[in-house]
Structure 1
Amino acid sequence: MLPRSGDVLNVTSAASVQFIRPIHFRVIRVLDRPTYDGWLWLEGYELNAAGDAVNRRSIFVQRAGLHLVQAAPQPQPRPHTVRSARRPVTRTPVRVG
């Protein structure tokens, strides 16, 4: 699973030994840094129990150890609307004095 922007992940010691205490992590982006096969650099926010961002972090984790908690919302297609023709602005002479 390759995380996407907005995904909330449960990061445990299966992803990296530094996460003895699991965290929830909201992904901003996957960083394009050279890594070992199966490892990723992620940039995002550590979340508290209420789901609020408490700490911005970059983490180095194994892709196989990440667990998706909440997928990023899918963008909804915008309904096609017919726009009416715009009327030109009526210009009047400038009044001086």
Structure 2
Amino acid sequence: MLPRSGDVLHVTRAASVQFLQPIMFRVIRVLDWPTFDGWLWLEGYELNTAGDAVKRRSIFVLGDGLRQLQAAPVPRQHTIRTPRRPVVRTPLRVS
């Protein structure tokens, strides 16, 4: 699994032996640091049981050991902008 920004993950011992106590983790980004095949560096927030961020962390985990609890919201479509109207300037009067 390759998480994306905004995903909430359940990180357990299946993802890394450092997680004897499972945590919920909201992904900020997947870091592009060099790793072994299948392993990821994630930056994000550890969440409490209410879903509030309590600690910012970078974690090194096995992608196959992650479980997604909540997917990131679908990005909104970009609005189409209309061309800007030209600015009409009035000449300055010099007295």
| Range into which the TM-score falls when normalised by the shorter chain | 0.7 to 0.9
Aligned length: 95
- TM-score of the pair, normalised by structure 2: 0.83
CA RMSD of aligned residues (A): 2.3
Alignment of 1:7 with 2:7, yes or no, is yes
Aligned equivalent of 1:16 = 16
Pair 31,87 (structure 1): closer, same or farther in 2 beyond 3 Å: closer
Aligned equivalent of 1:65 = 65
Aligned-residue identity in percent: 68
Aligned equivalent of 1:39 = 39
Other structure's SS at 1:69 match: strand
Could you list the runs of 4 or more consecutive aligned residues of structure 1 that deviate by over 6 angstroms after TM superposition?
Answer: none
Please, which runs of 5 or more residues in structure 2 have no aligned partner?
A: none
In 2: Cα distance, 1:62 partner to 1:28 partner: 17
In 2: Cα distance, 1:47 partner to 1:22 partner: 11
In 2: Cα distance, 1:25 partner to 1:5 partner: 11
- TM-score of the pair, normalised by structure 1: 0.81
**Which amino acid in structure 2 is aligned with residue 8 of structure 1?**
V
